[in-house]
Structure 1
Amino acid sequence: MKKTLLALVGAGLLFGGVAANATPEQDRLNLDKYFTNKYPDIKLDKYVYGALAFDADSMAQYDSIMDFPPFGTVVDQGQKMWDTPFKNGKTYASCFPNSGKNVAGNYPYFDDKAGKVVTFENAINTCRTTNGEEAYKLGDPATMGKLTSYARTLSDGMLMNIKVNGAAAQAAYEKGKAQFYSRHGQLGFSCASCHVYNAGNHLRSELLSPIIGQATHWPVFRGGENLVTLQNRYVGCHKMIRAVPFAIGSEEYNDLEYFHSYISNGLPMKASVFRK
Protein backbone atom coordinates (compact mmCIF):
# COMPACT_ATOMS: atom_id res chain seq x y z
CA MET A 1 0.00 0.00 0.00
CA LYS A 2 2.75 2.42 0.93
CA LYS A 3 4.70 1.53 -2.22
CA THR A 4 1.63 2.33 -4.29
CA LEU A 5 1.38 5.72 -2.64
CA LEU A 6 5.05 6.44 -3.19
CA ALA A 7 4.69 5.49 -6.85
CA LEU A 8 1.85 8.00 -7.14
CA VAL A 9 3.62 10.89 -5.53
CA GLY A 10 6.67 10.82 -7.77
CA ALA A 11 8.79 13.75 -6.65
CA GLY A 12 7.10 13.81 -3.24
CA LEU A 13 3.84 15.59 -4.00
CA LEU A 14 0.37 14.34 -4.74
CA PHE A 15 -2.06 16.36 -6.82
CA GLY A 16 -4.00 18.83 -4.72
CA GLY A 17 -0.86 19.88 -2.88
CA VAL A 18 -0.86 16.86 -0.54
CA ALA A 19 2.69 15.81 0.24
CA ALA A 20 3.69 12.20 0.91
CA ASN A 21 5.62 13.22 4.03
CA ALA A 22 3.24 15.94 5.23
CA THR A 23 1.67 16.00 8.68
CA PRO A 24 -2.09 15.45 8.89
CA GLU A 25 -2.62 19.15 9.49
CA GLN A 26 -0.51 20.05 6.47
CA ASP A 27 -2.63 17.65 4.39
CA ARG A 28 -5.81 19.33 5.58
CA LEU A 29 -4.55 22.86 5.00
CA ASN A 30 -3.15 21.97 1.59
CA LEU A 31 -6.49 20.54 0.49
CA ASP A 32 -8.31 23.59 1.86
CA LYS A 33 -5.97 25.79 -0.18
CA TYR A 34 -6.38 23.62 -3.27
CA PHE A 35 -10.18 23.95 -3.26
CA THR A 36 -10.10 27.62 -2.27
CA ASN A 37 -7.87 28.35 -5.26
CA LYS A 38 -9.93 26.19 -7.60
CA TYR A 39 -13.33 27.50 -6.43
CA PRO A 40 -12.69 30.90 -4.81
CA ASP A 41 -16.40 31.77 -4.60
CA ILE A 42 -17.25 28.75 -2.41
CA LYS A 43 -16.64 29.04 1.32
CA LEU A 44 -15.11 25.96 2.89
CA ASP A 45 -18.03 25.36 5.27
CA LYS A 46 -20.36 25.00 2.28
CA TYR A 47 -18.59 21.76 1.38
CA VAL A 48 -20.40 19.99 4.21
CA TYR A 49 -23.25 19.86 1.66
CA GLY A 50 -21.10 17.83 -0.73
CA ALA A 51 -21.71 18.36 -4.44
CA LEU A 52 -24.60 20.70 -3.62
CA ALA A 53 -21.98 23.37 -2.93
CA PHE A 54 -21.39 23.55 -6.69
CA ASP A 55 -25.06 23.83 -7.74
CA ALA A 56 -27.32 26.58 -6.37
CA ASP A 57 -30.49 25.05 -7.86
CA SER A 58 -29.82 21.67 -6.29
CA MET A 59 -29.04 23.38 -2.98
CA ALA A 60 -32.40 25.16 -3.08
CA GLN A 61 -34.17 21.86 -3.76
CA TYR A 62 -32.28 20.30 -0.87
CA ASP A 63 -33.35 23.07 1.51
CA SER A 64 -36.95 22.52 0.48
CA ILE A 65 -36.76 18.76 1.00
CA MET A 66 -35.11 19.13 4.40
CA ASP A 67 -38.03 21.26 5.66
CA PHE A 68 -39.99 17.99 5.75
CA PRO A 69 -37.44 15.20 5.25
CA PRO A 70 -38.97 12.02 3.81
CA PHE A 71 -36.94 9.86 6.17
CA GLY A 72 -38.12 11.39 9.44
CA THR A 73 -39.77 8.17 10.59
CA VAL A 74 -36.49 6.28 10.24
CA VAL A 75 -34.64 8.79 12.44
CA ASP A 76 -37.52 8.59 14.94
CA GLN A 77 -37.08 4.82 15.03
CA GLY A 78 -33.37 5.36 15.65
CA GLN A 79 -34.20 7.65 18.56
CA LYS A 80 -36.46 4.98 20.05
CA MET A 81 -33.60 2.48 19.80
CA TRP A 82 -31.20 4.95 21.46
CA ASP A 83 -33.61 5.67 24.33
CA THR A 84 -34.72 2.06 24.97
CA PRO A 85 -32.86 0.63 27.99
CA PHE A 86 -30.79 -2.52 27.72
CA LYS A 87 -31.87 -5.56 29.74
CA ASN A 88 -29.68 -4.30 32.60
CA GLY A 89 -31.50 -0.95 32.65
CA LYS A 90 -28.69 1.15 31.19
CA THR A 91 -28.87 3.03 27.89
CA TYR A 92 -26.51 4.05 25.11
CA ALA A 93 -26.28 7.49 26.68
CA SER A 94 -24.55 5.95 29.72
CA CYS A 95 -21.61 4.84 27.54
CA PHE A 96 -20.64 8.28 26.25
CA PRO A 97 -19.65 11.63 27.75
CA ASN A 98 -22.44 14.19 27.93
CA SER A 99 -24.98 11.40 27.27
CA GLY A 100 -23.73 11.11 23.69
CA LYS A 101 -24.15 14.77 22.77
CA ASN A 102 -21.31 16.39 20.82
CA VAL A 103 -19.15 13.27 20.81
CA ALA A 104 -19.46 11.77 17.31
CA GLY A 105 -17.10 14.39 15.88
CA ASN A 106 -14.29 12.87 17.95
CA TYR A 107 -14.59 9.61 15.99
CA PRO A 108 -12.76 7.80 14.54
CA TYR A 109 -9.92 7.89 17.05
CA PHE A 110 -6.83 5.73 17.44
CA ASP A 111 -6.95 3.46 20.49
CA ASP A 112 -3.37 3.00 21.66
CA LYS A 113 -4.20 0.01 23.89
CA ALA A 114 -6.04 -1.85 21.13
CA GLY A 115 -3.57 -0.65 18.50
CA LYS A 116 -6.27 0.25 16.00
CA VAL A 117 -8.73 2.86 14.80
CA VAL A 118 -12.10 2.92 16.58
CA THR A 119 -15.13 4.30 14.74
CA PHE A 120 -18.33 5.62 16.31
CA GLU A 121 -20.07 2.42 15.22
CA ASN A 122 -17.34 0.36 16.94
CA ALA A 123 -17.94 2.37 20.12
CA ILE A 124 -21.68 1.73 19.95
CA ASN A 125 -21.08 -2.00 19.61
CA THR A 126 -18.69 -1.90 22.58
CA CYS A 127 -21.47 -0.18 24.52
CA ARG A 128 -23.85 -2.98 23.55
CA THR A 129 -21.54 -5.87 24.45
CA THR A 130 -20.40 -4.23 27.69
CA ASN A 131 -24.05 -4.11 28.70
CA GLY A 132 -24.77 -7.73 27.81
CA GLU A 133 -26.24 -7.18 24.33
CA GLU A 134 -25.11 -8.68 21.04
CA ALA A 135 -23.12 -6.48 18.68
CA TYR A 136 -24.91 -5.16 15.62
CA LYS A 137 -23.66 -5.97 12.15
CA LEU A 138 -21.65 -2.96 11.00
CA GLY A 139 -23.28 -1.12 8.13
CA ASP A 140 -26.65 -2.87 8.53
CA PRO A 141 -29.24 -0.20 7.63
CA ALA A 142 -31.93 -1.81 9.80
CA THR A 143 -29.90 -1.80 13.01
CA MET A 144 -26.61 0.10 13.20
CA GLY A 145 -27.59 2.42 10.35
CA LYS A 146 -30.95 3.29 11.84
CA LEU A 147 -29.45 3.78 15.32
CA THR A 148 -26.67 6.05 14.09
CA SER A 149 -29.10 8.02 11.91
CA TYR A 150 -30.31 9.43 15.22
CA ALA A 151 -27.21 9.09 17.41
CA ARG A 152 -25.13 11.25 15.10
CA THR A 153 -27.74 14.02 15.10
CA LEU A 154 -26.84 14.54 18.77
CA SER A 155 -23.57 15.99 17.47
CA ASP A 156 -25.06 18.20 14.76
CA GLY A 157 -23.19 21.51 14.73
CA MET A 158 -20.16 20.05 16.50
CA LEU A 159 -16.93 20.78 14.68
CA MET A 160 -15.12 17.68 13.45
CA ASN A 161 -12.29 17.10 15.90
CA ILE A 162 -10.14 14.11 14.88
CA LYS A 163 -6.80 13.65 16.65
CA VAL A 164 -3.67 11.95 15.31
CA ASN A 165 -1.22 11.61 18.19
CA GLY A 166 1.76 9.28 18.30
CA ALA A 167 3.59 7.05 15.85
CA ALA A 168 0.97 4.27 15.73
CA ALA A 169 -1.87 6.72 15.08
CA GLN A 170 0.22 8.42 12.40
CA ALA A 171 0.84 5.04 10.73
CA ALA A 172 -2.91 4.30 10.64
CA TYR A 173 -3.57 7.75 9.19
CA GLU A 174 -0.92 7.18 6.50
CA LYS A 175 -2.50 3.84 5.58
CA GLY A 176 -5.84 5.57 5.19
CA LYS A 177 -4.23 8.30 3.10
CA ALA A 178 -2.57 5.68 0.88
CA GLN A 179 -5.92 3.95 0.48
CA PHE A 180 -7.51 7.23 -0.64
CA TYR A 181 -4.84 8.09 -3.22
CA SER A 182 -4.08 4.57 -4.52
CA ARG A 183 -5.76 3.35 -7.70
CA HIS A 184 -8.09 0.37 -7.46
CA GLY A 185 -10.10 -1.93 -9.65
CA GLN A 186 -10.38 -2.52 -13.38
CA LEU A 187 -11.05 1.17 -14.03
CA GLY A 188 -7.91 2.25 -12.17
CA PHE A 189 -9.63 4.97 -10.14
CA SER A 190 -8.62 6.24 -6.72
CA CYS A 191 -10.92 8.04 -4.28
CA ALA A 192 -8.94 11.16 -5.17
CA SER A 193 -9.63 10.70 -8.89
CA CYS A 194 -13.22 11.78 -8.27
CA HIS A 195 -13.12 13.67 -4.99
CA VAL A 196 -9.98 15.79 -5.42
CA TYR A 197 -8.97 16.09 -9.06
CA ASN A 198 -12.49 16.03 -10.53
CA ALA A 199 -14.57 17.41 -7.67
CA GLY A 200 -17.10 19.83 -9.15
CA ASN A 201 -17.14 18.00 -12.50
CA HIS A 202 -19.76 15.54 -13.74
CA LEU A 203 -19.15 11.81 -14.05
CA ARG A 204 -21.99 10.71 -16.29
CA SER A 205 -25.01 12.28 -14.56
CA GLU A 206 -23.40 12.66 -11.12
CA LEU A 207 -21.79 15.88 -9.89
CA LEU A 208 -18.72 14.85 -7.92
CA SER A 209 -18.30 16.06 -4.34
CA PRO A 210 -14.99 17.15 -2.75
CA ILE A 211 -13.18 15.30 0.01
CA ILE A 212 -13.56 18.36 2.25
CA GLY A 213 -16.74 18.04 4.29
CA GLN A 214 -17.62 14.55 3.06
CA ALA A 215 -17.26 12.82 6.43
CA THR A 216 -19.50 15.27 8.30
CA HIS A 217 -22.96 14.21 7.17
CA TRP A 218 -23.44 10.44 7.44
CA PRO A 219 -25.62 8.43 7.38
CA VAL A 220 -27.38 9.89 4.35
CA PHE A 221 -30.69 8.98 2.79
CA ARG A 222 -30.84 8.53 -0.96
CA GLY A 223 -34.12 8.53 -2.83
CA GLY A 224 -36.25 8.78 0.31
CA GLU A 225 -35.62 6.20 3.04
CA ASN A 226 -32.65 4.38 1.46
CA LEU A 227 -30.13 4.75 4.28
CA VAL A 228 -26.41 4.66 3.40
CA THR A 229 -23.60 4.73 5.96
CA LEU A 230 -20.15 6.09 5.15
CA GLN A 231 -18.53 2.67 4.86
CA ASN A 232 -21.51 1.41 2.82
CA ARG A 233 -20.55 4.20 0.44
CA TYR A 234 -16.93 3.04 0.38
CA VAL A 235 -18.20 -0.39 -0.70
CA GLY A 236 -20.40 1.15 -3.37
CA CYS A 237 -17.56 3.25 -4.75
CA HIS A 238 -15.27 0.24 -4.97
CA LYS A 239 -17.93 -1.73 -6.82
CA MET A 240 -18.48 1.11 -9.29
CA ILE A 241 -14.80 1.08 -10.26
CA ARG A 242 -14.90 -2.72 -10.49
CA ALA A 243 -12.73 -3.30 -7.45
CA VAL A 244 -13.29 -5.93 -4.79
CA PRO A 245 -14.45 -3.99 -1.71
CA PHE A 246 -13.07 -4.53 1.75
CA ALA A 247 -15.39 -5.62 4.54
CA ILE A 248 -17.25 -2.90 6.41
CA GLY A 249 -15.39 -2.41 9.68
CA SER A 250 -12.13 -3.74 8.24
CA GLU A 251 -8.81 -2.18 9.15
CA GLU A 252 -8.57 -0.82 5.59
CA TYR A 253 -11.90 1.01 5.75
CA ASN A 254 -11.43 2.16 9.34
CA ASP A 255 -8.04 3.66 8.47
CA LEU A 256 -9.57 5.26 5.37
CA GLU A 257 -12.35 6.76 7.50
CA TYR A 258 -9.70 8.05 9.94
CA PHE A 259 -7.85 9.95 7.20
CA HIS A 260 -11.07 10.98 5.46
CA SER A 261 -12.56 12.40 8.66
CA TYR A 262 -9.42 14.29 9.67
CA ILE A 263 -9.55 16.27 6.42
CA SER A 264 -12.94 17.67 7.54
CA ASN A 265 -11.60 18.89 10.90
CA GLY A 266 -13.10 22.23 11.90
CA LEU A 267 -16.25 21.80 9.79
CA PRO A 268 -19.69 21.38 11.39
CA MET A 269 -21.36 18.00 11.48
CA LYS A 270 -24.83 17.43 10.06
CA ALA A 271 -26.11 13.85 10.17
CA SER A 272 -29.10 12.22 8.48
CA VAL A 273 -29.53 14.32 5.36
CA PHE A 274 -30.96 13.74 1.92
CA ARG A 275 -28.74 13.11 -1.07
CA LYS A 276 -29.64 12.21 -4.64
Structure 2
Amino acid sequence: MNKNTLILAVAGLACLLAGPLAAETPKEEQEAFQTYFKKRFPNVPEDDFKNGAYAIDPVGRENWEAIEEFPPYENSISNGETMWNKPFANGKGYADCFPDGPAIQGKYPYWDKARGLVVTLPLALNECRAANKEEPLKYQKGPIADLVAYIAFESRGQITKVEIPEDDPRALEAYQKGKQFYFARRGQLNFSCAQCHLGNSGTKLRTEILSPALGHTTHWPVYRSEWGEMGTLHRRFAGCNEQVRAKAFKPQGEEYRNLEYFLTYMNNGLELNGPGARK
Protein backbone atom coordinates (compact mmCIF):
# COMPACT_ATOMS: atom_id res chain seq x y z
CA MET A 1 0.00 0.00 0.00
CA ASN A 2 1.68 3.25 -1.15
CA LYS A 3 1.53 6.50 0.77
CA ASN A 4 -1.33 8.10 -1.20
CA THR A 5 -3.42 4.94 -1.06
CA LEU A 6 -2.79 4.69 2.67
CA ILE A 7 -3.90 8.27 3.28
CA LEU A 8 -7.12 7.65 1.37
CA ALA A 9 -7.74 4.40 3.21
CA VAL A 10 -7.26 6.01 6.62
CA ALA A 11 -9.49 8.93 5.70
CA GLY A 12 -12.17 6.64 4.33
CA LEU A 13 -12.20 4.38 7.38
CA ALA A 14 -12.21 7.33 9.77
CA CYS A 15 -15.19 8.86 7.95
CA LEU A 16 -16.99 5.55 7.91
CA LEU A 17 -16.54 4.82 11.60
CA ALA A 18 -16.96 8.38 12.83
CA GLY A 19 -20.03 9.05 10.68
CA PRO A 20 -23.69 8.71 11.67
CA LEU A 21 -24.90 5.24 12.53
CA ALA A 22 -27.70 5.61 9.99
CA ALA A 23 -25.07 5.34 7.25
CA GLU A 24 -23.58 1.99 8.29
CA THR A 25 -24.37 -0.86 10.66
CA PRO A 26 -21.90 -1.92 13.37
CA LYS A 27 -21.31 -5.14 11.43
CA GLU A 28 -20.35 -3.18 8.30
CA GLU A 29 -18.12 -0.93 10.37
CA GLN A 30 -16.45 -3.97 11.90
CA GLU A 31 -15.79 -5.46 8.47
CA ALA A 32 -14.32 -2.18 7.22
CA PHE A 33 -12.15 -1.88 10.34
CA GLN A 34 -10.73 -5.37 10.00
CA THR A 35 -10.28 -5.11 6.23
CA TYR A 36 -8.30 -1.91 6.68
CA PHE A 37 -5.74 -3.60 8.92
CA LYS A 38 -5.50 -6.69 6.73
CA LYS A 39 -4.66 -4.46 3.77
CA ARG A 40 -2.32 -2.25 5.78
CA PHE A 41 -0.39 -5.30 6.99
CA PRO A 42 -0.88 -7.84 4.18
CA ASN A 43 1.87 -10.16 5.38
CA VAL A 44 0.35 -10.63 8.83
CA PRO A 45 -1.85 -13.74 9.16
CA GLU A 46 -5.30 -12.72 10.37
CA ASP A 47 -5.06 -14.69 13.62
CA ASP A 48 -1.68 -13.14 14.44
CA PHE A 49 -3.19 -9.73 15.14
CA LYS A 50 -3.99 -11.06 18.61
CA ASN A 51 -0.30 -10.57 19.40
CA GLY A 52 -0.46 -6.79 19.13
CA ALA A 53 2.69 -4.97 18.06
CA TYR A 54 4.56 -8.28 17.96
CA ALA A 55 2.52 -9.23 14.90
CA ILE A 56 4.29 -6.47 12.96
CA ASP A 57 7.61 -6.08 14.83
CA PRO A 58 9.95 -9.03 14.17
CA VAL A 59 12.68 -7.82 16.53
CA GLY A 60 10.25 -7.16 19.36
CA ARG A 61 8.57 -10.47 18.68
CA GLU A 62 11.83 -12.38 19.08
CA ASN A 63 12.41 -10.79 22.48
CA TRP A 64 8.79 -11.37 23.49
CA GLU A 65 8.88 -15.05 22.54
CA ALA A 66 11.98 -15.47 24.69
CA ILE A 67 10.18 -13.85 27.63
CA GLU A 68 7.15 -16.10 27.09
CA GLU A 69 9.30 -19.17 27.80
CA PHE A 70 9.30 -18.04 31.45
CA PRO A 71 6.36 -15.63 31.51
CA PRO A 72 6.36 -12.95 34.20
CA TYR A 73 2.63 -13.39 34.75
CA GLU A 74 2.83 -16.97 36.09
CA ASN A 75 2.59 -15.83 39.72
CA SER A 76 -0.49 -13.79 38.87
CA ILE A 77 -2.20 -16.81 37.37
CA SER A 78 -1.37 -18.83 40.48
CA ASN A 79 -2.59 -16.05 42.79
CA GLY A 80 -5.78 -15.72 40.77
CA GLU A 81 -6.46 -19.44 40.96
CA THR A 82 -6.09 -19.29 44.74
CA MET A 83 -8.54 -16.40 44.89
CA TRP A 84 -11.05 -18.22 42.69
CA ASN A 85 -10.98 -21.30 44.91
CA LYS A 86 -10.92 -19.52 48.28
CA PRO A 87 -14.41 -19.30 49.86
CA PHE A 88 -15.82 -15.95 50.87
CA ALA A 89 -16.59 -15.34 54.54
CA ASN A 90 -20.13 -16.63 53.99
CA GLY A 91 -18.83 -19.94 52.60
CA LYS A 92 -19.71 -19.22 48.98
CA GLY A 93 -17.22 -18.37 46.22
CA TYR A 94 -16.83 -17.11 42.68
CA ALA A 95 -18.06 -20.45 41.35
CA ASP A 96 -21.47 -19.70 42.87
CA CYS A 97 -21.68 -16.54 40.75
CA PHE A 98 -20.11 -18.13 37.67
CA PRO A 99 -21.26 -21.77 37.62
CA ASP A 100 -19.68 -22.41 34.22
CA GLY A 101 -16.23 -22.22 35.85
CA PRO A 102 -13.35 -19.79 35.34
CA ALA A 103 -13.15 -20.09 31.53
CA ILE A 104 -15.59 -17.23 31.02
CA GLN A 105 -13.64 -14.36 29.50
CA GLY A 106 -15.16 -14.93 26.07
CA LYS A 107 -18.56 -13.88 27.44
CA TYR A 108 -17.39 -10.33 28.19
CA PRO A 109 -18.10 -7.54 27.68
CA TYR A 110 -21.81 -7.92 27.08
CA TRP A 111 -24.89 -5.71 27.05
CA ASP A 112 -27.09 -6.16 30.11
CA LYS A 113 -30.57 -5.36 28.81
CA ALA A 114 -32.19 -5.43 32.24
CA ARG A 115 -29.90 -2.73 33.62
CA GLY A 116 -29.14 -0.93 30.37
CA LEU A 117 -25.35 -1.01 30.63
CA VAL A 118 -22.20 -2.74 29.41
CA VAL A 119 -20.91 -5.39 31.82
CA THR A 120 -17.21 -6.16 31.76
CA LEU A 121 -15.49 -9.07 33.46
CA PRO A 122 -13.91 -7.01 36.30
CA LEU A 123 -17.26 -5.34 36.96
CA ALA A 124 -18.99 -8.73 37.13
CA LEU A 125 -16.34 -10.04 39.55
CA ASN A 126 -16.81 -7.11 41.90
CA GLU A 127 -20.58 -7.45 41.68
CA CYS A 128 -20.14 -11.06 42.74
CA ARG A 129 -18.10 -9.89 45.71
CA ALA A 130 -20.71 -7.28 46.64
CA ALA A 131 -23.48 -9.88 46.49
CA ASN A 132 -21.50 -11.93 49.01
CA LYS A 133 -20.74 -9.01 51.34
CA GLU A 134 -17.06 -8.81 50.29
CA GLU A 135 -15.13 -5.58 49.78
CA PRO A 136 -14.66 -4.57 46.12
CA LEU A 137 -11.27 -4.93 44.47
CA LYS A 138 -9.53 -1.90 42.96
CA TYR A 139 -9.81 -2.06 39.20
CA GLN A 140 -6.37 -1.19 37.81
CA LYS A 141 -3.92 -3.62 39.39
CA GLY A 142 -3.31 -6.02 42.25
CA PRO A 143 -5.78 -8.81 43.12
CA ILE A 144 -8.25 -7.93 40.34
CA ALA A 145 -5.48 -8.26 37.74
CA ASP A 146 -4.43 -11.61 39.23
CA LEU A 147 -7.98 -12.93 39.23
CA VAL A 148 -8.60 -11.83 35.64
CA ALA A 149 -5.21 -13.28 34.63
CA TYR A 150 -6.29 -16.70 35.89
CA ILE A 151 -9.63 -16.43 34.11
CA ALA A 152 -7.90 -15.27 30.91
CA PHE A 153 -5.49 -18.20 31.07
CA GLU A 154 -8.35 -20.64 31.50
CA SER A 155 -10.17 -18.94 28.61
CA ARG A 156 -7.34 -19.14 26.08
CA GLY A 157 -8.55 -20.23 22.67
CA GLN A 158 -12.03 -18.77 23.04
CA ILE A 159 -13.14 -16.51 20.21
CA THR A 160 -14.12 -12.87 20.67
CA LYS A 161 -17.83 -12.58 19.90
CA VAL A 162 -19.37 -9.44 21.33
CA GLU A 163 -23.01 -8.89 20.39
CA ILE A 164 -24.97 -5.69 19.98
CA PRO A 165 -28.64 -6.65 20.48
CA GLU A 166 -30.68 -5.29 17.60
CA ASP A 167 -33.82 -5.05 19.72
CA ASP A 168 -32.31 -2.59 22.23
CA PRO A 169 -31.34 0.86 20.92
CA ARG A 170 -29.51 1.54 24.18
CA ALA A 171 -26.92 -1.10 23.26
CA LEU A 172 -26.35 0.62 19.94
CA GLU A 173 -26.01 3.91 21.79
CA ALA A 174 -23.34 2.43 24.10
CA TYR A 175 -21.44 1.16 21.04
CA GLN A 176 -21.76 4.59 19.45
CA LYS A 177 -20.45 6.32 22.57
CA GLY A 178 -17.47 3.95 22.66
CA LYS A 179 -16.78 4.70 19.00
CA GLN A 180 -17.01 8.43 19.58
CA PHE A 181 -14.58 8.11 22.48
CA TYR A 182 -12.13 6.24 20.26
CA PHE A 183 -12.08 8.99 17.62
CA ALA A 184 -12.31 12.01 19.94
CA ARG A 185 -9.22 14.15 20.37
CA ARG A 186 -8.38 15.00 23.95
CA GLY A 187 -5.68 16.33 26.21
CA GLN A 188 -3.06 19.02 25.70
CA LEU A 189 -1.58 16.99 22.83
CA ASN A 190 -5.00 16.82 21.13
CA PHE A 191 -4.64 13.13 20.25
CA SER A 192 -7.24 10.42 19.77
CA CYS A 193 -6.90 6.65 20.20
CA ALA A 194 -7.37 6.29 16.45
CA GLN A 195 -4.51 8.62 15.56
CA CYS A 196 -1.96 6.31 17.15
CA HIS A 197 -3.46 2.88 16.62
CA LEU A 198 -5.31 3.29 13.34
CA GLY A 199 -3.71 5.91 11.09
CA ASN A 200 -0.20 5.61 12.53
CA SER A 201 -0.21 1.91 13.43
CA GLY A 202 3.10 0.32 12.51
CA THR A 203 5.04 3.57 12.75
CA LYS A 204 7.35 4.55 15.61
CA LEU A 205 6.67 6.89 18.48
CA ARG A 206 10.09 7.47 19.97
CA THR A 207 11.36 3.87 20.19
CA GLU A 208 7.96 2.18 20.34
CA ILE A 209 6.13 0.69 17.36
CA LEU A 210 2.49 1.69 17.55
CA SER A 211 0.38 -1.44 17.63
CA PRO A 212 -2.64 -1.92 15.35
CA ALA A 213 -6.02 -1.57 17.03
CA LEU A 214 -7.04 -4.93 15.61
CA GLY A 215 -6.20 -7.32 18.44
CA HIS A 216 -5.99 -4.75 21.22
CA THR A 217 -8.45 -6.48 23.53
CA THR A 218 -7.40 -10.12 23.15
CA HIS A 219 -4.47 -10.48 25.52
CA TRP A 220 -5.43 -8.71 28.74
CA PRO A 221 -4.56 -8.41 31.57
CA VAL A 222 -0.92 -7.71 30.80
CA TYR A 223 2.38 -7.74 32.67
CA ARG A 224 4.18 -4.62 31.42
CA SER A 225 7.88 -4.26 32.06
CA GLU A 226 7.26 -0.52 32.40
CA TRP A 227 4.89 -1.22 35.29
CA GLY A 228 6.82 -4.12 36.78
CA GLU A 229 3.48 -5.80 37.47
CA MET A 230 0.17 -6.86 36.02
CA GLY A 231 -2.41 -4.32 34.94
CA THR A 232 -5.91 -4.34 33.53
CA LEU A 233 -7.21 -3.04 30.21
CA HIS A 234 -8.74 -0.01 31.89
CA ARG A 235 -5.42 0.79 33.50
CA ARG A 236 -4.01 0.98 29.98
CA PHE A 237 -6.90 3.15 28.81
CA ALA A 238 -6.16 5.53 31.69
CA GLY A 239 -2.45 5.51 30.92
CA CYS A 240 -3.08 6.40 27.28
CA ASN A 241 -5.26 9.33 28.34
CA GLU A 242 -2.55 10.55 30.67
CA GLN A 243 0.11 10.21 27.95
CA VAL A 244 -1.73 12.77 25.85
CA ARG A 245 -2.03 14.94 28.97
CA ALA A 246 -5.71 14.37 29.47
CA LYS A 247 -7.42 13.53 32.72
CA ALA A 248 -8.10 9.81 32.93
CA PHE A 249 -11.64 8.58 33.43
CA LYS A 250 -12.68 6.33 36.30
CA PRO A 251 -11.77 2.66 35.69
CA GLN A 252 -14.95 0.68 34.98
CA GLY A 253 -16.85 3.93 34.57
CA GLU A 254 -19.29 4.21 31.67
CA GLU A 255 -16.75 5.86 29.36
CA TYR A 256 -14.19 3.06 29.49
CA ARG A 257 -16.79 0.28 29.53
CA ASN A 258 -18.35 1.67 26.37
CA LEU A 259 -14.90 2.04 24.82
CA GLU A 260 -14.15 -1.59 25.66
CA TYR A 261 -17.51 -2.61 24.16
CA PHE A 262 -16.77 -0.85 20.86
CA LEU A 263 -13.16 -1.96 20.62
CA THR A 264 -13.84 -5.58 21.54
CA TYR A 265 -16.66 -5.69 18.98
CA MET A 266 -14.17 -4.48 16.37
CA ASN A 267 -12.00 -7.49 17.32
CA ASN A 268 -14.74 -10.09 16.89
CA GLY A 269 -13.42 -13.35 15.45
CA LEU A 270 -9.98 -13.11 17.06
CA GLU A 271 -8.77 -15.68 19.58
CA LEU A 272 -8.26 -14.76 23.22
CA ASN A 273 -4.66 -15.38 24.34
CA GLY A 274 -4.28 -13.57 27.65
CA PRO A 275 -2.69 -12.89 29.96
CA GLY A 276 0.12 -11.24 28.07
CA ALA A 277 3.53 -9.69 28.52
CA ARG A 278 4.54 -6.35 27.00
CA LYS A 279 7.31 -3.79 27.34
Determine the structure 1 residue equivalent to 2:276. 273
Unaligned 5+ segments in structure 1 are 1-11
Counterpart CA distance in 1 for 2:44 and 2:82 is 38
Determine the structure 2 residue equivalent to 1:160. 160
The change in CA–CA distance for 1:94 and 1:49 in structure 2 (over 3 A counts) is: same
Q: Deviations over 1:94-149 (max 9, x none)?
A: 21242132x2122111111111111101110111111221221222x122112111
Structure 2 residue corresponding to 1:195, chosen from 194, 197, 215:
197
Counterpart CA distance in 1 for 2:191 and 2:211 is 15
- Provide the identity percentage: 39
Q: Contact (CA 8 Å) 1:13, 1:19: kept in 2 or not?
A: no
Determine the structure 1 residue equivalent to 2:14. 15
Determine the structure 2 residue equivalent to 1:236. 239
Q: Which moved more, 1:31-40 or 1:251-260?
A: 31-40
AA aligned to 1:227 is: M
AA aligned to 1:38 is: R
Determine the structure 2 residue equivalent to 1:182. 184
Q: Contact (CA 8 Å) 2:157, 2:273: kept in 1 or not?
A: yes
Q: CA RMSD in A?
A: 1.7
AA aligned to 2:120 is: T
Determine the structure 2 residue equivalent to 1:81. 83
Determine the structure 1 residue equivalent to 2:267. 264
Q: Contact (CA 8 Å) 2:84, 2:147: kept in 1 or not?
A: yes
Q: Does residue 1:25 correspond to 2:24, yes or no? A: no
Q: Contact (CA 8 Å) 2:139, 2:232: kept in 1 or not?
A: no
AA aligned to 1:270 is: N
Q: Which moved more, 1:255-264 or 1:108-117?
A: 108-117
Alignment length, in residue pairs? 263
TM-score (norm 1): 0.90
Cα deviation, residue 89, structure 1: 2.2
Counterpart CA distance in 1 for 2:15 and 2:46 is 15
Determine the structure 2 residue equivalent to 1:130. 131
Determine the structure 2 residue equivalent to 1:207. 209
Determine the structure 2 residue equivalent to 1:104. 105
Cα deviation, residue 234, structure 1: 0.6
Determine the structure 1 residue equivalent to 2:71. 69
Q: Give the secondary structure class of the aligned counterpart of 1:214.
A: coil
AA aligned to 1:15 is: A
Counterpart CA distance in 2 for 1:31 and 1:273 is 24
AA aligned to 1:89 is: G
Q: Which moved more, 1:18-27 or 1:121-130?
A: 18-27
Structure 2 residue corresponding to 1:34, chosen from 33, 36, 42:
36
Q: Give the secondary structure class of the aligned counterpart of 2:147.
A: helix
Q: Which moved more, 1:129-138 or 1:31-40?
A: 129-138
Q: Give the secondary structure class of the aligned counterpart of 2:242.
A: helix
Cα deviation, residue 262, structure 1: 0.7
Counterpart CA distance in 1 for 2:258 and 2:73 is 30
Q: Contact (CA 8 Å) 1:110, 1:117: kept in 2 or not?
A: yes
Q: Does residue 1:227 correspond to 2:227, yes or no? A: no
Q: Give the secondary structure class of the aligned counterpart of 2:252.
A: coil
Q: Give the secondary structure class of the aligned counterpart of 2:118.
A: strand
The change in CA–CA distance for 1:171 and 1:73 in structure 2 (over 3 A counts) is: same
Q: Deviations over 1:229-258 (max 9, x none)?
A: 110001100111011111111111111111
Structure 2 residue corresponding to 1:55, chosen from 22, 33, 57:
57
TM-score (norm 2): 0.89
